[in-house]
Amino acid sequence: MDESKCEDLAKKSWKIEEYHRGIKQFCGVEKCQARKEESQRAHIMFSLRVFLRMELQRVKSGISWFESAMKIIRVAVTAYLKNPPHIKLINVGMKVLKTICYGSTA
């Protein structure tokens, strides 16, 4: 094998390594806890779909996989902090507790 073919194969193999790192690190392909084959296949398929969308986003906008993932997390955390569901549950719980202790709350 000549040197140029060896370099070409090394570049291709590196792209495969980057793909595996991306789909494991940013798409959660390894985090499936399902036991059924159908559920595992669905998880892998959705992980692959996420990876393809993130890769398309990276190519179109130049935003890295990490930046894309952080942007999604940042938006989700911001939305949660603006309207945390556990606060509503605490308020409802307090009203129920007051009703039990003191009767009707007017």
Q: In terms of C-beta density within 10 A (0-12 exposed, 13-18 middle, 19 or more buried), how is residue 27 classed? A: buried
The pLDDT tens digits along the chain (106 residues) read 788 888 888 888 988 888 888 888 888 888 888 899 999 999 999 999 988 888 888 899 898 888 888 888 888 888 888 877 666 666 666 666 666 666 665 5
pTM (predicted TM-score):
0.61
* pLDDT the model gives residue 68: 84
Give the H/E segment covering residue 50.
helix 37-61
Identify the residue whose tokens are 């499936």.
32
* pLDDT the model gives residue 103: 64
Q: CA 70, 32, 43, 76 torsion: positive or negative? A: negative
* pLDDT the model gives residue 72: 84
Which residues 6+ apart lie within 8 Å of 28 measured at CB? 47, 50
* pLDDT the model gives residue 87: 65
**Alpha carbon separation from 66 to 32, 39, 41, 47, 72 (Å, rounded):** 21, 27, 25, 15, 10
Measured distance between the N- and C-terminal CA atoms of the chain, rounded to whole angstroms: 86
Identify the residue whose tokens are 């556990």.
86
* pLDDT the model gives residue 35: 92
